[in-house]
């Protein structure tokens, strides 16, 4: 059961956006609420950046305007996701307490004039947060409009100040107990970094050369944990008085917060998703982000909290979505498990740094193509009520882990910056997405027994327990697929000694001795099954210890050595090992073979290029990204479905208009 | 009447450069002055960087050397533009008063060892400036050599220190009266930035994310105003004792100083112009810069204070001018209204950071091709005496405004960094320059009634009064041409609500609802008149509200919508609206049509490629940039002209040598 | 006699690497020492980063582990190069004395957590260094394992802090005596930089614009001298008690240390050489580096202290060497004068910032291809014992000088950043290396009488005495070849006045007046001898004053002016002057002509592409870089040689395997 149930049960799919009434006069409020009703909006987030309006001077609170706003919304049947305003403290706080502002690695203290300038380690900041949150909770916990709490906004601040240094030391004491344990974990014997006391530890501030990777890794852990503490302190105040679900807006593949660690601190997983419309990979990347978000709390429905209706403002060149793309993006989110699609923001600001960020009501007002599309989308989403609360049933897991990402991509001085964790993850996800195969992105400690295929594209660092968890897949009949430079290090980024990947040489039936980044020409690989192809970026010097060699390096320093191996496990499963970066079509073929071995089939075959398929519960979503109509032949089980978006029944072929979509509810439960 | 009249009346066109005798021994002074006389030099700027020589220790002044220098120059008939040395305070000032050094946005205090390290907000600095200026004025106000005062050098310092923060607050109090007015102007309701007191405002120092654009805009205004104050304090001291004109050297399209605001603080507008000889667009850019500088004080003759005789030293790769290009550059400046052409600097320094900047006397001495060309140029300029004091009669205005530039190009988070103000300005200026059509670059508040055609290539922000000023053009029979993303915001960079461009939808007969930056492929535009072409970078979703549609988007999201519109005004004028970035030839055709509609003709037709024409008063300058001779057919009115540069009469065809020039004085006043 | 004699006499060629036992447990120590013996390792560097292990708390020393380590090594016959650990002070030092940490030009104090964070100007740091060095010397001066001392590591710290500012002032007082001399040397009359007292001088910290070049140049000199002082203070302590040779590891073309100034402070010149295996120019660059290192102490044998066995970790993409390349790299070093080849490091670290730097024992252990190659290489090097102690006899000198490099490439605002000193040096070295002509890289003050050909590719700044030293070459019958932008400035980076190159116009028979960087198209040059070619980057406007013009600019501003000149000296020698950047083959032809004029012949003719030849003493090394076998025809004198690597005699043709090598000892001393 998801934390969204209390919201979706009476409303179906949620629809709305951030609304910032403090930027507008009451007459605009009334126009806005009327427009919301007309557009089918049923949820707005209020108050995210209202602290300076709520508390214009220290301790003096002005809440009457918010009373009026909440009453107005409630009167119009729009639920409120009420925010705590901790993301942007008022200038008076920084003016009175400069130590509430964060400091960067160079020692520069952040100034007011933007947002997110706070130091999460400052007790003064936290006390002021607690006070304003208490005031809000006291006043609005029982307000009937308040359906959810939105704690802060896009947590992600990193601070290197002395207050945070003090909290870091406490965190390290808790983690390691004594300083010798820290010295061992951080390998401080290297470069004479041994600490004689926790007091000597500082955050990884500007240094002349590369920082200790384990120290950087722990600083990232600490930073995520410290923000989590700021979050939890507010949740505790809320839960004293309110039973409404609590959420905060994550940012999918944002490195600052380990969402897997935060998952149980929220009731609803919410995400801000801003892919670039100018990037052709944008739909695939969005789908990957959605599969990540859905995996954060074991497949629960989630909420797309922010996206753009047109263009954003913060890229160098901001190509906008078309209104049709806007709808496809929303439907994709629902297809991948979202129970609501919201936007930043309802009405475009006239001032401030985001005045050119698109909104549901543009500067030109409601009599515009964009707003008409927003209204039409509201009607469309109402038709998807049967989908709300249902789950995506994924039989494939992609393994991803924040600390492993940090260790594998964000620490200094790795063998190659060209082999990046997210790039590998996307490369392995893309063929699955293209085939319409549902995939959960999950941490290596997840319950993997739910999955028939477990893909580990790039998991640089892994602790022993998680490594063992992954290793069990083939023995219980599943298919495990491991990509390059995985299983290399332990949880402190220490390289495991021995033939790699040390924890998995047994299950893979293969072992290696040398990682060999490739020069720009790449390397030729020959395979009976996959043909001869050029692999790039990376190679590994491995030998088979029992695995079948499916492809072999054909030139270069590793000529004659295995490039791709498969071991059939006595338990019935298989273990695949990809030691290089194959071209896209070869990787797709490898994944197809792995799926076939596990008996995982795509929902549709012969899907036209540019048409996406995604199953959620009993509904099959089909999204046509092309600017031409597409015909999709339907399998027997889907023929006779009803398209929820139109109410029409479809026969054995579906005709999708240009950039159009369908949501097919099959006639029976007898679907494969 | 121009402030240069007292200088040019006895001398004709001014010629000379910066001279830094403090770098040389007296024997070199005497050699230099003799060389100046031989070269026809009649003006040198002295003392710009002499502070540490004039006042080697606090309060101890050494002026005897300057007495000798001024006497020497006076004896040789060379006028002196005597500088106040505020640009580079001596090291002893920073050593004794560290607060006289500027601080950057990161909090780093500038060090001595370069120049321009001063904090313009430091009262200690200003007091020391006042003292040294007073000493100079007391000593030299009556010296017969002193013909002009040169206040400081290339004003442009920005400082984020606490002293400047204090002055910023005072400036804001003066501007806004109370803090609520500031909050409204800056839209501080966005991101919880509301100030409860002016005391809380700081300059836009390093922050975690985008700054408030209105705050940045005001900080730029304040910075320009604060520098202006430093300038005015010195002018006040000078004017107590001296009637000689006052100038300072601007840097054309330098963002740091709003020259339009400074214009009436100087008697002479002077410019430093350093276009890149390696850039083929350099001549067009120089002409644009000259048209800007001339427009600063309503078309008055101006002074080219600094240029390079060969190469500069501060680019990564400094291709030098040829000696012929050196002459063409000087003549271009005169043709565009300069009454004098000067150089940085007279004699090449052997040490210091600019030791590789070219000079009128190179390291190798006077027996060099470069210095021979300098001498020949002096003789040439003497022949242009009839031009001195005359004006360029421009019927076309290009609208440009520093605050609008800041708002449109230099603030963060705009729709596209690819649509830059200066790039658009250059794109609209270039066809006019190529046709030899005189064009003044003026602010939107200028008296536009002087112009038949008013072009607004890119005016992002505009106040109501200026917007109204621009809007009147068609009604009084003129032609107005508005480019994309213009009229968007008010003077606080706040987006105007409604269909854009809000102030001009009526006059343009068109209105828009969405700015749509284009992906790299651009968009096809179809036009009966201009053919089918690919536009790039930018499009706007507009509709006609009465204007004629001259071109239509033919593909992409805006297919079928207008791209180029023209409204004929009942008052006899026209209003054109360009919503995208057309290719160069299409834009040239549009501008030609707009000129034709206003009855503005080019001085010559069938001008050869690479030959520039420019009218000033009764003289038509023709500059051949190519490395081959060119023949230019002359119109009837010009046949029989005298070429001032040679004294020769020309018939109906002018023969220009390779990289040669002519300055034709027509036989009668009966020119078109 | 070289400082290495006491090491090589009993051992032959040295072989080993950095060993960091503090990272490992004693059982690993024992495994390591056994593996070293098996691999023929006879020298390891110990203790470089051991300070925090040796002195875990201030004043408390733990040396028992090092006793054991040294005993173990001694027992195994492995000599020890014992380090002073000053490169990386323990965290407790920074914690207690923050002023021991360096400060950058922006004022940011370096943090612990990396290495090299110390301030070399801090007396507290120096006192702590002295204490730990004294402890080590007292304990181990007589230990039989200790064969050499390794002072610090890769000296190169630059610090801008107040302590260093104080030391800088003292250094300047020593250099200039009074402040007026400094003002003259630094040309402070430019930009009003005159100092009234040494107290006003600060290091070149962040400033608004270009720094004074002479100040920057002296700051680089001071920085090198200050590090040298830190080095010398430790050497003094060592020499009180130990007669073992002292070394420190330089980094060939590293700008931070003027090795020529340091040369006599060490007994052994040691180098760290990390060329990029992915760069095809890597072998040529390595050879150039070796020729530099050998020239530091007048041709003495030197020690390759650090190189990589496979990949490094600090580039963005680290392509590893093959094991065959590893051997070729080592043999190249020996051929160019090294008496030992060592690695960083013996055993790969599991933690720390260099955990992905390759090592002689990789993470996967000794049963790997890499370690097997390490062992085989040890056996190979033993066969080269006859080479140890012999010298390379070079008849060609390439002139290079640290201060001239700083002045010519690293100071701001030069005519072109595209004409870089190292690029020019490499361009002139490469044809010599390709021909197998031995070349010493030496400073302009070197005894040039040892050389028949002296090449000055790019020597921007030169003092009068050195300029005169270079000028004497042709008069005594040698060949001098001067490249562009040479002899421009004096030792204070002040441009010499007059026709350039001022000190050499007489010897060159030519003089110039203008440096003219070329636009991207370059310029055509015509020559009877070298054909017509396109030169790039740079041209000079020169005239012949007696020299023969060998090539002439054929287009552009300098059409008709000389591009390449040669003057035959009455003394029998020649002086060549190259005023531009010719293509590689033209430059090779020019150099071949210059060599021929001096009677310098290559050891072999018709050398196959990809085969290097290098003579050292009586041994001719031949290295086949290609992945195919190569046949090399041998001259008469070499026929019948013995290949030291195999013990085989060779006839008149040598057959090299793919990526194979030979070291031919000629049968008689009668070699040319």
b/e sequence B655-667, b meaning 16+ C-beta within 10 Å: ebeebbbbbbbbe
Give the integer Cα–Cα distance in Å for C143 and C136: 11
- Residues 333-362, chain B, touching C (beta carbon < 8 A): 348-356, 362
Annotated ligand binding at B101? The verdict is no
CB pairs under 8 A between B and C: 192
User: What is the distance in angstroms between the Cα of B463 and the nearest Cα belonging to chain A?
Assistant: 15
Kindly give the residue spans of alpha helices, DSSP state H, lying in A40-122: 51-54, 64-75, 91-96
Q: Is C460 on the interface with B (CB under 8 A)?
A: no
The minimal CB distance from C200 to the residues B87, B95, B278 is found for B95
In the predicted model, what is the mean pLDDT of chain B?
Answer: 97
Cβ pair C416:B317 closer than 8 A: yes
In Å, how far from its chain's centre is CA B534? 32
For residue C170, is pLDDT > 90? yes
User: B396-598 maps to which CATH number?
Assistant: 3.40.50.880
For residue B136, is pLDDT > 90? yes
CB of B437 closer than 8 Å to CB of A378: no
Given its phi and psi angles, is residue B28 left (phi above 0), alpha (psi -120 to 50 degrees) or beta? Answer: alpha
Give the integer Cα–Cα distance in Å for C340 and A420: 38
B83 contact partners, CB below 8 Å, separation of at least 6: B45, B46, B47, B48, B50, B149, B150, B151, B152, B153
Ranges in chain C annotated CATH 3.20.20.80: 5-95+123-154+245-387
Work out the angle between the directed axes of helices C162-176 and C179-186 (0-180°, nearest 10): 90
pLDDT average per 10 residues of sequence, chain A (672 residues): 90 98 98 98 98 98 98 98 98 98 98 97 98 98 98 98 98 98 98 98 97 97 98 98 98 97 96 96 98 96 98 97 97 98 98 97 98 98 97 98 94 92 98 98 97 98 98 98 98 98 98 98 98 98 98 97 98 97 98 98 91 96 96 89 95 94 82 46
Q: What's the confidence (pLDDT) of residue A672?
A: 44
Q: Is the dihedral of CA A151, A155, A160, A166 positive or negative?
A: positive
User: What is the distance in angstroms between the Cα of B186 and the nearest Cα belonging to chain A?
Assistant: 7
Closest to B582 measured CA to CA, from B415, B431, B480: B431
Measured distance between the N- and C-terminal CA atoms of chain A, rounded to whole angstroms: 24
Give the integer Cα–Cα distance in Å for A13 and A18: 17
Strand intervals (E) in C47-168: 79-84, 146-151
Nearest residue in B to A51, CA atom: B192
Tokens read off for C629: 């076998």
Among the residue ranges A407-421, B121-135, B144-158, B501-515, the one predicted with the least confidence is A407-421
Mean pLDDT over residues B73-84, rounded?
98
Residues A305, A310, A314, A316: what is their CA dihedral angle, to the nearest 10 degrees?
150
Give the integer Cα–Cα distance in Å for A664 and A643: 4
Cβ pair A318:B499 closer than 8 A: no
Closest to A573 measured CA to CA, from A478, A462, A441: A478
Active site residue A240: no
CA angle at B22 for the pair B20 and B25, rounded to the nearest 5°: 110
Ranges in chain B annotated CATH 2.60.40.1180: 611-670
Q: Which helix (H) or strand (E) holds C197?
A: none
Tokens read off for A103: 């400091």
User: A5-95+123-154+245-387 maps to which CATH number?
Assistant: 3.20.20.80
A238 contact partners, CB below 8 Å, separation of at least 6: A84, A133, A137, A141, A149, A151, A244, A246
Q: Is B107 on the interface with A (CB under 8 A)?
A: yes
Given its phi and psi angles, is residue B330 left (phi above 0), alpha (psi -120 to 50 degrees) or beta? Answer: alpha
For residue C200, list chain B residues with Cβ-Cβ distance below 8 A.
Answer: 91-92, 94-95, 112
Reported as a single tens digit per residue, the pLDDT across A620-654 is 999 999 999 999 999 888 888 999 999 999 988 99
For residue B201, is pLDDT > 70? yes
Give the integer Cα–Cα distance in Å for C78 and B318: 57
Reported as a single tens digit per residue, the pLDDT across B24-63 is 999 999 999 999 999 999 999 999 999 999 999 999 999 9
The minimal CB distance from B351 to the residues C187, C194, C209 is found for C187
Q: What's the confidence (pLDDT) of residue A412?
A: 78
Q: Which of A105, A190, A493, A518 to mutate to test the interface with C (most CBs of C within 10 A)?
A: A190
Give the integer Cα–Cα distance in Å for A225 and A102: 16
Q: Which of B108, B189, B494 to mutate to test the interface with A (most CBs of A within 10 A)?
A: B189
Q: What's the confidence (pLDDT) of residue B671?
A: 47
For residue C113, list chain A residues with Cβ-Cβ distance below 8 A.
Answer: 193, 202, 204-205, 207, 211-212, 215
Kindly give the residue spans of alpha helices, DSSP state H, lying in C499-604: 505-508, 584-598
b/e sequence C150-173, b meaning 16+ C-beta within 10 Å: bbbbbbbbbbbbebbbebbbebbe
* Band (B669; pLDDT cuts 50, 70, 90): low
The minimal CB distance from B190 to the residues A94, A311, A349 is found for A349
Annotated ligand binding at C164? The verdict is yes
The β-bridge partners of A269 are: A248
Nearest residue in C to B57, CA atom: C196
B125 contact partners, CB below 8 Å, separation of at least 6: B89, B93, B97, B100, B118, B119
* Residues of C known to be catalytic: 154, 306
Q: Is A194 on the interface with C (CB under 8 A)?
A: yes
For residue C230, is pLDDT > 60? yes
Query: Is the bond leading into B345 cis (omega within 30 degrees of zero)?
Result: yes
DSSP state for residue A536 in the 8-state scheme:
B
Closest to A503 measured CA to CA, from A622, A404, A392: A404
Give the integer Cα–Cα distance in Å for B132 and B138: 10
Give the integer Cα–Cα distance in Å for A315 and A659: 25
Interface predicted TM-score of the whole assembly (ipTM), two decimals? 0.96
Q: Is B279 on the interface with A (CB under 8 A)?
A: no
Q: How many residues appear in chain C?
A: 672
Strand intervals (E) in A42-152: 43-46, 79-84, 146-151
DSSP state for residue A108 in the 8-state scheme:
P
CB of C73 closer than 8 Å to CB of C35: no
pTM of the model: 0.97
For residue B672, is pLDDT > 70? no
Tokens read off for B395: 């019927």
Q: Is the dihedral of CA B356, B361, B364, B369 positive or negative?
A: positive
User: B611-670 maps to which CATH number?
Assistant: 2.60.40.1180
Give the integer Cα–Cα distance in Å for C255 and C296: 14
Q: Is B494 on the interface with A (CB under 8 A)?
A: yes
User: What is the distance in angstroms between the Cα of A43 and the nearest Cα belonging to chain B?
Assistant: 21
Q: Which of C24, C114, C158, C323 to mutate to test the interface with A (most CBs of A within 10 A)?
A: C114
CB of A160 closer than 8 Å to CB of A104: yes
Helix (H, G, I), strand (E, B) or coil at B99: helix
Give the integer Cα–Cα distance in Å for A231 and A270: 14
Q: Which of B55, B300, B306, B540 is catalytic?
A: B306
Give the integer Cα–Cα distance in Å for C286 and C301: 16
Active site residue B154: yes
Cβ pair A494:C316 closer than 8 A: no
Closest to C134 measured CA to CA, from C213, C237, C278: C237
User: What is the distance in angstroms between the Cα of A466 and the nearest Cα belonging to chain C?
Assistant: 20
Q: Is A105 on the interface with B (CB under 8 A)?
A: no
Q: What's the confidence (pLDDT) of residue A616?
A: 97
For residue B415, list chain A residues with Cβ-Cβ distance below 8 A.
Answer: 311, 313, 318, 356
Q: Which of B154, B300, B574, B659 is catalytic?
A: B154
Mean pLDDT over residues B347-373, rounded?
98
Kindly give the residue spans of alpha helices, DSSP state H, lying in A415-572: 421-434, 464-471, 505-508
Helix (H, G, I), strand (E, B) or coil at B284: helix
Tokens read off for A453: 């295929």
Report the 10 Å Cβ neighbour count for B445. 15
Work out the angle between the directed axes of helices A323-335 and A369-382 (0-180°, nearest 10): 30
Tokens read off for B173: 């109090």
In the predicted model, what is the mean pLDDT of chain C?
Answer: 97
Reported as a single tens digit per residue, the pLDDT across B433-457 is 999 999 999 999 999 999 999 999 9
> How is C561-573 classified by DSSP, letter by letter?
SEEEEEEE-TTS-
In Å, how far from its chain's centre is CA C623? 21
Q: What's the confidence (pLDDT) of residue A669?
A: 54
Tokens read off for B571: 């008052």
Q: What's the confidence (pLDDT) of residue C1?
A: 60
Q: Is A281 on the interface with B (CB under 8 A)?
A: no
* Band (B638; pLDDT cuts 50, 70, 90): confident
Q: Is B211 on the interface with A (CB under 8 A)?
A: yes
Q: Which of B208, B416, B580 to mutate to test the interface with A (most CBs of A within 10 A)?
A: B208
For residue B322, list chain C residues with Cβ-Cβ distance below 8 A.
Answer: 557
The β-bridge partners of B562 are: B552
> How is C391-402 classified by DSSP, letter by letter?
-----EEEE--H
Cβ pair C91:A541 closer than 8 A: no
Give the integer Cα–Cα distance in Å for B346 and B21: 10
In this complex, the chains that touch A, judged by 3 or more CB pairs closer than 8 A, are B, C
Give the integer Cα–Cα distance in Å for C176 and B588: 63
For residue A520, list chain C residues with Cβ-Cβ distance below 8 A.
Answer: 278
Enumerate the known binding-site residues of A for substrate.
115, 153, 314
For residue C148, is pLDDT > 50? yes
Ranges in chain A annotated CATH 3.40.50.880: 396-598
Cβ pair B51:C192 closer than 8 A: yes
Reported as a single tens digit per residue, the pLDDT across C501-524 is 999 999 999 999 999 999 999 999
Q: Is B109 on the interface with A (CB under 8 A)?
A: no
Percentage of chain C with pLDDT > 70? 99
Q: Is B213 on the interface with A (CB under 8 A)?
A: yes
Cβ pair B200:A92 closer than 8 A: yes
Give the integer Cα–Cα distance in Å for C30 and C8: 25
């Amino acid at each position: 059961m998801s934390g969204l149930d209390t919201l979706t049960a009476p409303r179906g799919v949620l629809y709305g956006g951030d609304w910032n009434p403090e930027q507008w006069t009451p007459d605009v409020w009334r126009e806005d609420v009327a427009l919301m009703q007309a557009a089918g909006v049923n949820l707005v987030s209020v108050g995210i950046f209202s602290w300076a309006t709520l508390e214009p001077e220290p301790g003096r609170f002005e809440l009457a305007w918010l009373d009026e706003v909440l009453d107005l919304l409630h009167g119009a049947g729009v639920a409120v996701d009420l925010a705590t305003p901790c993301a942007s403290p008022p200038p008076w706080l920084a003016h009175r307490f400069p130590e509430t502002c964060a400091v960067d690695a160079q020692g520069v203290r952040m100034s007011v004039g933007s947002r997110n300038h706070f130091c999460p380690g400052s007790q003064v900041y936290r006390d002021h947060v607690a006070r304003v949150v208490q005031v809000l909770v006291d006043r609005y916990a029982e307000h009937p409009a308040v359906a959810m709490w939105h704690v802060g906004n896009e947590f992600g601040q990193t601070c290197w100040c002395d207050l945070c240094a003090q909290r870091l030391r406490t965190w390290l004491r808790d983690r390691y107990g004594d300083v010798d344990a820290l010295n061992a974990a951080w390998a401080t014997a290297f470069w004479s970094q041994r600490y004689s006391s926790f007091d000597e530890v500082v955050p990884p501030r500007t240094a002349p050369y590369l920082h200790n990777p384990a120290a950087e890794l722990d600083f990232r852990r600490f930073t995520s944990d410290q923000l989590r503490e700021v979050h939890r302190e507010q949740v505790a105040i809320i839960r004293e008085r309110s039973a409404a679900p609590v959420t905060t807006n994550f940012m999918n593949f944002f490195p600052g917060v380990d969402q897997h660690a935060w998952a149980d601190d929220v009731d609803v997983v919410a995400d801000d998703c801003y892919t670039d419309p100018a990037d052709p990979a944008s739909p695939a990347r969005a789908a990957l982000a959605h599969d990540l978000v859905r995996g954060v709390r074991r497949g629960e429905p989630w909420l797309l909290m922010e996206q753009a209706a047109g263009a954003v403002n913060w890229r160098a060149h901001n190509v906008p979505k078309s209104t049709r793309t806007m709808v496809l993006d929303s439907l994709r989110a629902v297809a991948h498990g979202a129970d609501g699609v919201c936007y930043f923001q309802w009405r475009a600001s006239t001032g401030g740094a985001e005045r050119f960020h698109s909104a549901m009501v543009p500067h030109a007002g409601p009599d515009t193509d964009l707003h008409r599309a927003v209204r039409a989308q509201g009607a469309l989403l109402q038709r998807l009520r049967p989908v709300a609360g249902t789950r995506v049933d994924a039989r494939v897991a992609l393994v991803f882990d924040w600390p492993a990402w940090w260790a594998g991509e964000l620490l200094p001085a790795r063998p190659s910056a060209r082999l990046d964790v997210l790039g590998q993850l996307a490369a392995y996800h893309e063929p699955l997405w293209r085939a319409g195969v549902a995939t959960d992105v999950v941490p290596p400690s997840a319950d993997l027994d739910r999955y028939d295929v477990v893909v580990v594209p790039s998991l640089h660092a892994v602790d022993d327990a998680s490594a063992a968890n992954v290793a069990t897949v083939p023995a219980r009949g599943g298919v495990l697929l491991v990509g390059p430079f995985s299983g290399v290090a332990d949880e402190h980024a220490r390289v495991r000694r021995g033939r790699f990947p040390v924890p998995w040489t047994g299950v893979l039936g293969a072992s290696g001795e040398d990682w060999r980044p490739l020069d720009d020409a790449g390397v030729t690989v020959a395979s009976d099954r996959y043909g001869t192809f050029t692999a790039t970026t990376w190679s590994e010097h491995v030998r088979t210890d029992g695995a079948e060699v499916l492809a072999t390096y054909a030139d270069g320093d590793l000529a004659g050595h295995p490039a791709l191996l498969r071991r059939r496990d006595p338990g019935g499963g298989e273990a695949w090992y990809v030691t290089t970066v194959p071209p896209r079509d070869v990787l797709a073929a490898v994944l197809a073979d792995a799926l076939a071995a596990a008996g995982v089939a795509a929902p549709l075959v012969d899907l036209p290029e540019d048409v996406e398929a995604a199953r959620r519960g009993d509904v099959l979503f089909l999204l046509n990204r092309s600017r031409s109509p597409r015909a999709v032949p339907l399998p027997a089980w889907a023929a006779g479905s009803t398209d929820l978006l139109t109410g029409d029944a479809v026969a054995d072929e579906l005709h999708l208009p240009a950039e159009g979509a369908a949501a097919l509810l099959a006639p029976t439960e007898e679907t494969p």
